[in-house]
Amino acid sequence: MKDLIFATANLNKIKEIRAILDGQFNILGLDSIGCTEDIPETQPTIEGNALQKAQYVVDHYGVDCFAEDTGLEIDALDGEPGVYSARYAGPERSSEANIRLALKKLADKENRGAQFKTVIALIQEGQTLTFEGIVRGRIISEKRGTGGFGYDPVFVPDGYQQTFAEMDADTKNKISHRARAVAKLKEYLLNS
């Protein structure tokens, strides 16, 4: 089984990616290479941040890796929080505060349409590739569910009645934005 370094310290994301890849690759986090610093995310786009994180690991640790960045883009808020999703309510990265702020800004809006977008950047043997996954849905007015993380308790994907936080992990890992991006990554890795 091939080792793949995932440029994240987020244990939720590592667990989710491992589940989606179904044991076909050994996914290792930044701790496996001794990286404990906060990798910069200073780009103006989700794709830019994913590329920046992957390149940082290659430049500082000399290992091939993949990185991802994900954002929630709310139609009525002109794509906010987007690239700032994790820090929407401030640098402390509080999911609770981020959700409260998003719901407050949406309070008088009829259009609740939104999408989650994930971009994975893979740097392997000097080649850089990106893989994108998007899932459309809507933002509900109150949190529901205890699973998932981030904005999952207020996001209902199109075609479903449950929020991501109400779904079991298997269901979410089949339809999510991250699952869609990872499926493209997996297809590439298995065929390259």
Residue with tokens 């990286």: 35
Can you read off the two tokens belonging to residue 98? Answer: 């981020």
Q: Which of 69, 152, 158, 168 is catalytic?
A: 69
3 state DSSP class of 61: helix
Backbone phi, psi, residue 181, to 5°:
-70, -40
- The Cα–Cα gap between 150 and 160 comes to 19
- Partners of 2 in the β-ladder: 25
Rg value, the chain, Cα: 16
Q: How far is CA 9 from CA 5, 28, 114, 121, 162, in A?
A: 11, 10, 27, 16, 28
- The Cα–Cα gap between 136 and 42 comes to 26
Active site annotation includes 75: no
Q: Kindly state the helix (H) or strand (E) to which residue 59 belongs, with its residue range.
A: helix 46-61
Kindly give, in sequence order, each residue whose CB lies less than 8 Å from that of residue 160, ignoring residues fewer than 6 positions away: 137, 167, 175
Residue with tokens 């499926």: 183
What amino acid positions are annotated as catalytic residues? 69
